[in-house]
């Protein structure tokens, strides 16, 4: 007889492990099926985020920032360091230790919550059965009242620049280089391209980023994108807009690229080529033909607003379904589904999901842009405040960028906040709270912010919505 659970989660990434832990907290007998193997061949829970995404990239971003600051920030503080060197083995090794700590941490949490962990690939069969092809070669079938599909996403491969893991690499490959490439090509000036391009640039690589769209960071507020573009230029990222890759060939340990822009075809030779042109939902081999779950035109699992697939007891969450591919969106969907299954009131507010790009300066936003509000015909007013007028930012020698707040012209409700500058990945949180509580710019303006802190930029931007910022002309 097959093992029977209340909940089986297929996928132990951010969306899946949150779903499983919350389900177990609610007293549901829960299992997780996950196939991710670490370098030692053993199970490594946590999916893309913990193994080759959010966490390892932040580890390398932080290490590379420390190195870059030695030559580019510390001299302004009167501190000089000569002959600074990077030991790449330690640099990459530190990241790997962090990854192991966190993937092992998820396994511990599963144990503590009495979640059964299966190390293998899960396939949804008809009748809420899950066939597991174990990483040990064994097959078995388990079943549950509810199955949550959380299979995540994989990098999109360009047909004319296929990943070979050595010269043409994806995000995982760019976290593993054993030497700083002299010339790094990056296809796509998106989140991954900018973050990992920054890491290797800071260590000395010549980095050329080719972005197909004519606009830089089209999803961000244009004022924010403009500052970021300028700063990335100062770092030395050579970002070419409106540049479409048409050919990439590996020869003699080099990648020969052809790209096309408004001026015609151009050739470029690099040592490594990172292709970061987006990700696609990963559902390969996940669904039996008769399981009833449908995919949309982009290969994502079709779900309703409650992450339900329309098949009794089958749900799907995270990167495998519609919505932004962000770990924290997956966390919330996973927990909400577990709560709906457990008879509680799950909740995901898709309107206040924060976006963060962990470059230097950092970029963060939540809510609507001016462009979106114009398209929707919503009247709005704008306040902004530069970090150049924030004492703490100046004291840190990081007085770059600004906070821009958009509020409804009549109700004053905060509709969007857009930031570029130091520490904005953290500053966005208070704006999300204010928006979740339907707060107004006036509310934010009346909240006491500690002085001197970077958060004063948020406070002053809120004051500026009503043209009463103190430390700038209105
Ligand atoms: P992305 O969608 O952020 O950016 C891809 C970029 O590639 C786009 O600007 C696109 O116009 C460009 N592009 C597409 N085809 C191209 C071509 N042929 N030539 C040149 N440019 C081309 O995708 P990503 O950076 O690969 O990231 C994948 C996903 O992972 C995203 O959804 C992202 O949100 C998520 N992610 C998030 C974070 C974070 O939150 N900090 C970090 C990493 C990844």
Max distance between CA atoms of the chain, in angstroms, equals 74
Q: Is 469 exposed, middle or buried (0-12, 13-18, 19+ CB in 10 A)?
A: buried
pLDDT in tens, 30-83: 999 999 999 999 999 999 999 999 999 999 999 999 999 999 999 999 999 999
Cα-only R_g, the chain: 24
Domains and their CATH numbers in the chain: 3-155+280-348 (3.50.50.60), 168-277 (3.50.50.60), 354-465 (3.30.390.30)
Instruction: From 279, 2, 37, 11, select the one nearest 123 (Cα to Cα).
Output: 11
- Kindly report whether the peptide bond that precedes residue 454 is cis, defined as omega within 30 degrees of 0: no
Statement: residue 254 has pLDDT above 80: yes
- Tokens 């495998």, residue located: 320
Q: How confident is the model at residue 310 (pLDDT cuts 50, 70, 90)?
A: very high
Average pLDDT, the chain: 97
Kindly give the distance from the C-alpha atom of residue 280 to the centroid of ligand 1, in angstroms, as a whole number. 11
Question: Of 102, 103, 106, 28, which is closest to residue 315 (Cα–Cα)?
Answer: 28
Q: Which ligand 1 atom is the nearest neighbour of the CA of 244? A: 19
Pocket lining: 329 vs ligand 1, CB cutoff 6 Å: no
Ligand 1, closest atom to CA 191?
25
pLDDT over 90 (residue 299): yes
Q: How far is the CA of 276 from the centre of ligand 1 (A)?
A: 6
Instruction: For residue 211, name the pLDDT band (cuts at 50, 70, 90).
Output: very high
pLDDT score of 192 more than 80: yes
Mean pLDDT on 337-350: 97
pLDDT, tens digit (0-9, with 9 covering 90-100), for 363-394: 999 999 999 999 999 999 999 999 999 999 99
Which residue's CA lies nearest to atom 34 of ligand 1?
A: 325
- Mean pLDDT, rounded, for 149-163: 97
Grade residue 474 by pLDDT with cuts at 50, 70 and 90: confident
Residue 170 near ligand 1, beta carbon < 6 Å: no
Region 281-287 average pLDDT: 98
The pTM of the full predicted model, rounded to 2 decimals, is 0.97
The pick from 55, 160, 169, 188 for probing ligand 1's pocket by mutation, whose C-beta has the most ligand atoms within 8 angstroms, reads 188
Q: Give the pLDDT band of residue 438 (cuts 50, 70, 90).
A: very high
What is the mean predicted confidence (pLDDT) over 134-163? Answer: 97
Scanning 73-170, the segments in alpha helix (DSSP H) are: 88-112
Q: Is the dihedral of CA 320, 326, 327, 329 positive or negative?
A: negative
Alpha carbons 91 and 200: distance in angstroms, whole number: 12
Judge if the beta carbon of residue 150 lies within 6 A of ligand 1.
no
β-strands 129-134, 139-149 pairing: antiparallel
pLDDT at 237: 98
* Backbone phi, psi, residue 179, to 5°: -150, 155
Residue 389 buriedness (CB in 10 A; 0-12 / 13-18 / 19+): middle
- pLDDT on residue 60: 98
CA–CA separation, 70 vs 15, rounded Å? 38
What's the confidence (pLDDT) of residue 21? 98
As a whole number of angstroms, the distance between CA 421 and CA 414 comes to 20
Q: Is the pLDDT of residue 1 over 70?
A: no
* Any atom of ligand 1 within 6 Å of the Cβ of 244: yes
Take residue 448 and report the two structure tokens written for it.
């006491």
pLDDT given at position 285? 97
- Report the alpha-carbon distance of residue 188 to residue 213 in Å, rounded: 9
Check 77, 451, 459, 471 and give the catalytic one. Answer: 451
Q: What number does the ligand 1 atom closest to the CA of 156 have?
A: 26
Ligand 1 atom with the shortest distance to the CA of 218: 9
Distance 400 CA to ligand 1 centre (A): 24
Instruction: Indicate the pLDDT class of residue 420, thresholds 50, 70 and 90.
Output: very high
Mean pLDDT along residues 79-104: 96
461 vs 63, 104, 346, 361, 443, CA distance in Å?
32, 42, 33, 18, 12
pLDDT, one tens digit per residue, over 312-328 is: 999 999 999 999 999 99
Per-residue confidence band for 159, with pLDDT thresholds at 50, 70 and 90: very high
Rounded to whole angstroms, the Cα distance separating 359 from 61 reads 8
Q: Is the CB of 197 under 6 A from ligand 1?
A: no
35 lines ligand 1 (CB under 6 A): no
pLDDT at residue 353, rounded to an integer: 98
Please give the average per-residue pLDDT across 277-298, as a whole number: 98
Integer CA distances (angstroms), 403 to 4, 96, 338, in order: 52, 35, 36
307 CA to centre of ligand 1 in angstroms: 24
Q: Does ligand 1 lie within 6 Å of residue 319's CB atom?
A: no
Above 80 in pLDDT, residue 238? yes
Q: Does residue 320's CB lie within 6 angstroms of at least one atom of ligand 1?
A: no
247 lines ligand 1 (CB under 6 A): no
Q: Ligand 1: which residue has its CA nearest to atom 24? A: 278
Round to whole Å and give the CA distance between 51 and 55: 7
Residue nearest to atom 3 of ligand 1 (CA): 190
Q: Ligand 1, closest atom to CA 245?
A: 19
What average pLDDT does this structure show over 289-312? Answer: 98
User: How far does CA 301 lie from the centroid of its chain?
Assistant: 20
Whether 451 sits among the annotated catalytic residues: the reply is yes
């Amino acid at each position: 007889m097959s093992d029977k659970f209340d909940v089986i989660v297929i996928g132990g990434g951010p969306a899946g492990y949150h779903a499983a832990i919350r389900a177990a907290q609610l007293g549901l007998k829960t299992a997780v099926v996950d196939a991710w193997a670490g370098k030692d061949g053993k199970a490594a829970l946590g999916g893309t985020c913990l193994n080759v995404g959010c966490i390892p990239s932040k580890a390398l971003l932080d290490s590379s920032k420390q190195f870059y600051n030695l030559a580019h920030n510390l001299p302004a503080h009167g501190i000089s360091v000569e002959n600074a060197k990077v030991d790449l083995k330690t640099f990459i090794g530190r990241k790997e230790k962090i990854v192991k700590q966190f993937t092992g941490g998820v396994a511990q949490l599963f144990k503590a919550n009495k979640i059964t962990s299966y190390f293998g690939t899960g396939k949804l069969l008809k009748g809420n059965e899950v066939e597991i092809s174990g990483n040990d070669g064994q097959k078995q079938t388990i079943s549950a009242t509810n199955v949550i599909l959380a299979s995540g996403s994989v990098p999109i491969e360009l047909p004319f620049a296929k990943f070979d893991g050595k010269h043409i690499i994806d995000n995982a490959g760019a976290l593993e280089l054993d030497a700083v490439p002299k010339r790094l090509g990056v296809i796509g000036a998106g989140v991954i391209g900018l973050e990992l391009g920054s890491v290797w640039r800071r260590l000395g690589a010549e980095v050329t980023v080719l972005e197909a769209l004519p606009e830089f960071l089209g999803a961000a507020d244009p004022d924010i994108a403009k500052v970021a573009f300028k700063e990335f230029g100062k770092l030395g990222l050579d970002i070419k807009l409106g540049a479409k890759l048409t050919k990439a060939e590996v020869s003699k340990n080099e990648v020969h690229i052809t790209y096309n822009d408004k001026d015609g075809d151009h050739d470029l030779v690099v040592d490594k080529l990172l292709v970061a042109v987006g990700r696609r939902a990963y559902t390969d081999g996940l669904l039996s033909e008769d399981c009833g779950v449908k995919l949309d035109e982009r290969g994502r699992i079709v779900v309703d607003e409650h992450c339900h697939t329309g098949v009794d007891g089958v749900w799907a969450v995270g990167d495998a379904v519609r919505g932004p591919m962000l770990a924290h969106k997956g966390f919330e969907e996973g927990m909400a589904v577990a709560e709906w299954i457990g008879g509680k009131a799950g909740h995901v507010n898709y309107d206040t999901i924060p976006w963060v790009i962990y470059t230097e300066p950092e970029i963060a936003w939540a809510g609507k842009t001016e462009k979106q509000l114009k398209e929707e015909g919503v009247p709005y007013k704008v306040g902004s405040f530069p970090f150049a007028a924030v004492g703490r930012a100046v004291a840190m020698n990081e007085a770059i960028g600004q906070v821009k707040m958009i509020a409804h012209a009549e109700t004053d409700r905060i509709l969007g906040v857009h930031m570029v500058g130091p520490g904005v990945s953290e500053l966005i949180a208070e704006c999300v709270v204010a928006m979740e509580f339907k707060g107004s710019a006036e509310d934010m303006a009346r909240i006491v912010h500690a002085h001197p802190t970077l958060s004063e930029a948020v406070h002053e931007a809120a004051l500026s919505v009503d043209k009463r910022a103190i430390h700038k002309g209105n």
